[in-house]
Amino acid sequence: MATSATTPAGRTTLAVATGPADVPGWVRRWCRRSGRPVSAAPGPGDQSAAVTGGAALLVTRGRTEQPTSPVVVAAVRDLPADRPVLAAAAEAAGYLGGTVLAVHAVPLSFGERSVGLGEAVRHGLRLLDEAVDTLTRRGIPVEVRLVRRWPHEVVGEDLGEDLGAGLLVLGSARRDPLRPFGPVARSALSHAPCPVLVVPRPL
C-alpha cells in the first residue's frame, strides 16, 4: 500500500493493483529504470487511497508479463492538466521501446449540425498538436487520433482493441476520497483489454 505519493525528488509513486499476486517483474524493472517508487495496492480501498493521495495507479488486469504491443495510448482531455498523462505515456513508451498514440474524443453530444461541433473539433486538434510538440521534444515517436465518441469510450474495450494498445494512460478525475475515479477511469478499469495507468492531474 502506498504511504507516500512522491519522493523528495518529486517522482510520483506507482501503486500497482496486484490482487493476490506480487508486483510483476516488468513493472519493478520499469520503476527501477525510471527511479519511480513502487508499491502494492491490492484492494479497492488501497487503490482509492493511492489515487487520492497523489500516486499513479497501474492496473495490470491480472497480467504478469510485459505488454507485447509497444503502443501506449494517452487519453488527452485537456492541457495543461494532462501534461502528467503525456509524461507518463512517454516514460512507458521509452521503457517498452514503443510509440505514444495520443487520442482525444469529441463527444457525441455534439451532433453533426451542432453549432459547437466545429469549435470542439478545432479544440481537439489544437490539443493533439500540442501533445505532438511535447512528446517529440522528449524524443518519443507519436501519432494522434481525433475520435467521435463519448470520452469514456476512448478507453473502452472496443476502441482499445482497435488501437492495439499495450497500455492505456489517462488522468484521474479528482482527489475525492469518496469518488476518486470519474466515468472515464471507471470505464477503463472495467473494460480496457490491456493494463491501465491512472495518473493524478494537478489540483
Per-residue pLDDT reduced to its tens digit, 19-45: 555 788 889 999 999 888 998 888 877
Residue 6 falls inside a structural domain:
no
Residue whose cell numbers read 491501465? 196
Residue 73 falls inside a structural domain:
yes
CB 88 within 8 A of CB 56: yes
- 124: domain CATH number is 3.40.50.620
Give the global pTM: 0.85
Query: For the chain, what percent of residues have pLDDT higher than 70?
Result: 79
Residue 107 falls inside a structural domain:
yes
Query: For the chain, what percent of residues have pLDDT higher than 90?
Result: 31
Q: Cα–Cα distances in Å, from 141 out to 15, 96, 114, 126, 200?
A: 27, 12, 34, 18, 24
Residue 158 has pLDDT above 80, yes or no: no
Residue span of the structural domain in which 42 resides: 14-199
User: CA–CA separation, 27 vs 184, rounded Å?
Assistant: 23
Q: How many domains does the chain have?
A: 1
Residue 1 falls inside a structural domain:
no
Identity at 203, one-letter amino acid code:
L
